[in-house]
Amino acid sequence: MMHRIGIAVVGMGWMGTQHSESYLQVPKRFAFSEIVPDLVVCVDEVEARARAAQSKLGFQRYALDLQDALNDPEVQVVNICTPNNLHLPVALAAAKAGKHIFCEKPVGRTPEETEQIAAAAREAGVLSFVGYNYRWAPLVQYAKQLIQEGRIGDITHYRGRFFAGYATNPNAVLSWRFQSEVAGLGSTADLLSHVTDMAHMLAGPIRRVVANRETFIPKRPLATPGEGTHFTVRTEGPMGEVTNEDYVGALVTFANGAQGTLEACRVINGPQCEMAFELNGTRGALRWNFERMNELEVMFSDGADAPEGYTRLLSGPQYPFHAAFNPGYGVGLGYADLKTIEAFQFLQSIVNGKQGAPGLDDAAAVARVIQAIQKSWDSERWENV
């Protein structure tokens, strides 16, 4: 039985394009599911961008107004890829219209906005999903299995980080991500939200935090509205103030007693996209880095007979989701494949009529950690989540 699901994508920048392409891949990679995503309408306030997206991606039509998508009975899903300041009004309108919601992280500009969006979806009875795509790497899913099976024992240490040097160049333009009125928080929302979600999935809820922050590059060249991305560089023209943080770091205590650190920076030299974790338990250890996403390092301990160091595993069809993309051992997947897995998981939850993870309630749990981090910046002491 075929399951056709009508989709509206709102915001047709790089991420909106990535989501749209991911939906198109679902019938090819997960044909057994018989899920057929229909790209009904792409919505963007910049007409040239909306028109180009329709032509490139095969949407039935484009629109400049969200209401066009909300009024369409063929649209079952509203997929939100706008700048953060539009997430709240778009999500609230989608929930009111009874549409299922996929929202890119960090969902709201503030923890309070995220909680409001999650509550609206819950009240409306619609299903939701959030773009924490790094959790879908096959070897990350395998790491989760090892933890659930008890192979690592009780978790004692967790270190999570996201070091992405996309803004290391001081001439990287002042995109919306650097403006608190549009993005809300900086690296905390953009990067640490991923780190926190991964920590929740692997090590469990966080009980308390103590944190600090820093803005290393206070001014940047102004961006041209509707053009480029946060990777765009400009060497001339007027400058504007950066109004959120480049760096955030936190010590954390997990509810299970594990100790850890969470850290993120967008202006660091060296790492390019180092979304990573290192996890230690009473019976073993795991470590993974997105820059080498098709590798997982594992160590299993049996007390005195513990081996020295880690063993490196390479992704292959024996690990979750890998075989949907290729049958090769050591033949790697990439970022776009993780977004395809993510899209499939969301659409499958709609077919099953059951809320999947990570949904908006999971994003709200991340937001509560971020809220405690913000409090700690001001109090300069431990804050409970």
Q: What is the pLDDT of residues 341-351, one digit of tens each?
A: 999 999 999 99
Q: Are residues 113 and 175 in the same domain?
A: no
Read off the pLDDT of residues 102-118 as tens digits, 9 standing for 90 and up: 999 999 999 999 999 99
Q: What is the pLDDT of residue 77?
A: 98
For the segment 35-64, what is each residue's pLDDT rounded down to a tens digit? 999 999 999 999 999 999 999 999 999 999
- Is it true that the peptide bond before 358 is cis, omega within 30 degrees of 0? yes
Give the count of domains, the chain: 2
Q: Is the pLDDT of residue 264 over 80?
A: yes
By percentage, how much of the chain surpasses pLDDT 70?
Answer: 98
Q: Checking DSSP bridges between strand 61-63 and strand 35-43, what pairing results, if any?
A: parallel
pLDDT score recorded for residue 304? 62
Confidence at residue 84, expressed as pLDDT on a 0 to 100 scale: 95
Same domain flag for 291 and 201: yes
Reply yes or no on whether the pLDDT at 318 is more than 70. Answer: yes
Please report the pLDDT score of residue 226 as a whole number: 66
φ/ψ bin of 179: left (φ > 0), alpha (ψ from -120 to 50), beta (otherwise):
beta
Q: Is the pLDDT of residue 229 over 90?
A: no
Question: What is this structure's pTM?
Answer: 0.95
Are 222 and 127 part of one and the same domain?
A: no
| pLDDT tens figures, 154-164 | 999 999 999 99
Q: Between the CA of residue 342 and those of 19, 134, 138, what are the distances in Å? A: 9, 9, 12
Whole-number CA gyration radius for the chain: 21
pLDDT digits (tens, 9 = 90+) for 267-281: 999 999 999 999 999
Q: What is the CATH number of the domain that holds 348?
A: 3.30.360.10
Query: Which CATH number goes with the domain that contains 58?
Result: 3.40.50.720
| 7, 79, 214, 265 from 20: Cα distances, Å | 9, 9, 35, 28
Q: How would residue 302 be classed by pLDDT, with cut points 50, 70 and 90?
A: confident
Each residue's pLDDT tens digit, 122-157: 999 999 999 999 999 999 999 999 999 999 999 999
* Distance from chain centroid for Cα 42: 21
Q: Residue 204: how many CB atoms within 10 A of its CB?
A: 16
Phi, psi of 112 (to 5 degrees): -65, -40
Does the structure show a pLDDT above 90 at 355? yes
For residue 14, give both structure tokens: 């790089």
- Print the domain residue range for 375: 134-384
pLDDT in tens, 191-225: 999 999 999 999 999 999 999 999 999 999 998 77
Q: Are 289 and 166 in a shared domain?
A: yes
297's CB contacts (< 8 A; 6+ apart) are: 286, 287, 288, 310, 311, 312, 313
Asked whether 156 and 280 are in contact (CB, 8 A), the reply is yes
Asked if residue 85 and residue 56 are part of one domain, the reply reads yes
Do 226 and 359 fall within a single domain? yes
For residues 285 and 164, give the distance between their C-alpha atoms in angstroms, rounded to a whole number: 24
Which residue, 133, 157, 179, sits at the end of a domain? 133
* Boundary of a domain, candidates 93, 118, 133: 133
Is there a single domain that holds both residue 45 and residue 184? Answer: no
Write down the mean pLDDT value for the chain. 96
Residue 294 has pLDDT above 70, yes or no: yes
pLDDT of residue 10: 98
Task: Count the neighbouring beta carbons within 10 Å of the beta carbon of residue 105.
Answer: 24
Highest mean pLDDT among 167-176, 211-220, 236-245: 211-220
| 96 and 143 belong to one structural domain | no
Query: Which of the listed residues 117, 133, 149 is the one where a domain comes to its end?
Result: 133
- 143 in the same domain as 128: no
- Are 78 and 99 in contact by the 8 Å Cβ rule? The answer is yes
Whole-number percent of the chain with pLDDT over 90: 93
pLDDT confidence of residue 187: 97
Judge if 125 and 157 occupy the same domain: no
Whether the per-residue pLDDT at 228 is higher than 70: the answer is no
Q: What confidence score (pLDDT) does residue 232 get?
A: 83
pLDDT digit string, tens, across residues 21-40: 999 999 999 999 999 999 99
Report the C-alpha gap between 136 and 251 in whole angstroms: 26
What pLDDT is attached to residue 274? 98
Considering the domain architecture, whether residues 349 and 276 belong to the same structural domain is answered as yes
| Residues 234, 209 share a domain | yes
Is it the case that residue 71 has pLDDT exceeding 90? yes
